[in-house]
Amino acid sequence: MTNRLPQIVIVGAGPAGCTLAAFLAQRGLSCVVFDDDKRPDLLVGESLIPGVVPVFRQLGIEDRVAEISVRKPGASFFVTGDGPRIHFSFKNVEGHLPPYSFNSPRPELDNLLRLRAEELGAKFIHARAEVIASEQMGHPTVRLSETSLKQAGLPLDAQPLLIDASGRARCFARAMQIPAIRGGRDDIAYFAHYEDFDHDEVEPGQVIISVLKAGWSWRIPLPGRLSVGIVVDKDHAKTLGTTAEERLETALREEPMLAAKGRRAKRLTPVMTYTNYQLLSTQGYGPGWVLLGDAFGFVDPMLSPGLFMSLEGARQLDACVFAKGADILNHPQALQKALAAYSRRIVQWHHAWTELVNYFYDGRIFRIHLAGKNLAMKPSPFNLASIMERHSTFHIASMASGGYTRSLYSRSLMRLLSKYLVWQVPAAENFAVKKAWPHERGQAA
């Protein structure tokens, strides 16, 4: 890292901010990262997909990630009662992605990403960045306060590129009052870590996502414990109790798929609550600023795209802007063009993930799976039915792994399968994530 004044300021030291800082340091670009050191003990995003592994390799930390994690061979999706079960192995994506990923305790992973950025030469400032909304040529923008400029070692007239990696705090968007598009679900998540919570239905490390009587749940194997969470509609959550602890424990007790496995379970941590899912800022960049990671948008906890989008966002910002060299920061028009390209890519990623997630929420993915199984059992010339079933499984797994998520062919194949190749199977509504129990506290749902 050179001793030149930093031309780039990152606000927030979560995975997105630290990954970008590490990329910049690898390029020899000077930046500073503001970090207010405020982090909860538990964070969502403990289950990673294969698409993040190439980023770990690029940063030279895959071995260190493996040391703090449980190796993840795939993911399983269950429907309550006698519903279908889908087992996806990441071996299906071998060839274009690593055939595995990791389940990682988030505080440890976040600390590792920060440590790597520091090792590479990124500078961190232990303070909360103060940003002030203003205008530049009629466009909303933000600037650092005098205090923050001084903390960053910058003159008061400096105009560094400001990158908002503040996560769900959405520091810049709130300051400039940039609206966000919210998704159709209004869910809330409760989760904690447990020991002696049975996880014996799948191979070690496999994640289980269950469609419950109401909402859905995750079970993520971590070193020495199991992360268990429920995601439910906010109105349904009120029927489960008055506190986060009551609501999670009620669900674990009354949802059959969880009750059977959690009889001996002991909770090791407080229960954490997360809201604010399915959100995308309507503007991702402007004069002298850009949004990154959750500060730009969050898809949904289903399928675990959150951390992938943070790391992929850092990679895309690096590729679209900083790969062109530091001189681009001195050419506003070229910089804005590069930021626009980055923003378009992130919006494309967001829409593609949202489309895929909806296949799971509305039950279509289970209908496709059942139709595929039926198809594979039917005799056909040259075993075409079985080949088609394997082909569709490959593309579904590849999309959920972060490989073919944006692929026009894969997305078109999913639409085709869900519309035309689902005969003689129950309707998707039978497998959909429902907002309430069939008879919630004695009232019809």
- pLDDT of 277: 77
CB atoms within 10 A of CB 196: 12
134 and 37 inside one domain: yes
147: CATH:
3.50.50.60
Assess if residue 219 is contained within a domain: no
Torsion sign across C-alpha atoms 343, 348, 351, 353: negative
- pLDDT of 400: 97
- Cβ atoms of residues 70 and 222 within 8 Å: yes
- pLDDT of 1: 42
Q: Look up residue 262 and give its two tokens.
A: 């959690």
- pLDDT of 140: 92
Q: How many CA atoms lie within 13 A of 213 on its CB side?
A: 19
Which candidate, 313, 279, 281, places its Cα nearest to that of 298? 279
Assess if residue 99 is contained within a domain: no
14 and 128 inside one domain: yes
Last residue within a domain, chosen from 293, 323, 355? 355
350 and 298 inside one domain: yes
Tokens 């090791």 belong to which residue? 268
pTM given for the model: 0.95
**Residue 63, SS3?**
helix
The number of distinct structural domains making up the chain is 2
Q: Average pLDDT for consecutive 10-residue bins of the chain (445 residues)?
A: 74 98 96 90 94 98 98 96 92 94 97 98 96 90 97 94 96 96 92 97 97 97 98 95 98 95 97 90 97 97 96 98 94 96 98 97 94 75 72 93 97 94 90 87 43
- What angle separates helix 15-26 from helix 106-120, to the nearest 10 degrees? 20
17 and 120 inside one domain: yes
Task: For 218, list phi and psi in degrees, rounded to 5.
Answer: -120, 150
Last residue within a domain, chosen from 332, 355, 378? 355
From CA 17, how far away is CA 11, in angstroms rounded?
7
DSSP 8-state secondary structure symbol assigned to residue 14 = S
- Cβ atoms of residues 20 and 277 within 8 Å: no
364 and 384 inside one domain: yes
Work out whether strand 180-182 and strand 266-267 pair parallel, antiparallel, or are unpaired: unpaired
Give me the domain span that covers residue 364.
360-431
Work out whether strand 207-211 and strand 187-195 pair parallel, antiparallel, or are unpaired: unpaired
Element (H, E) at 314: helix 306-320
- pLDDT of 186: 84
Task: For 135, list phi and psi in degrees, rounded to 5.
Answer: -130, 150
351 and 367 inside one domain: no
131 and 50 inside one domain: yes
306 and 166 inside one domain: yes
Last residue within a domain, chosen from 306, 332, 355? 355
Tokens 């990671």 belong to which residue? 293
Assess if residue 307 is contained within a domain: yes
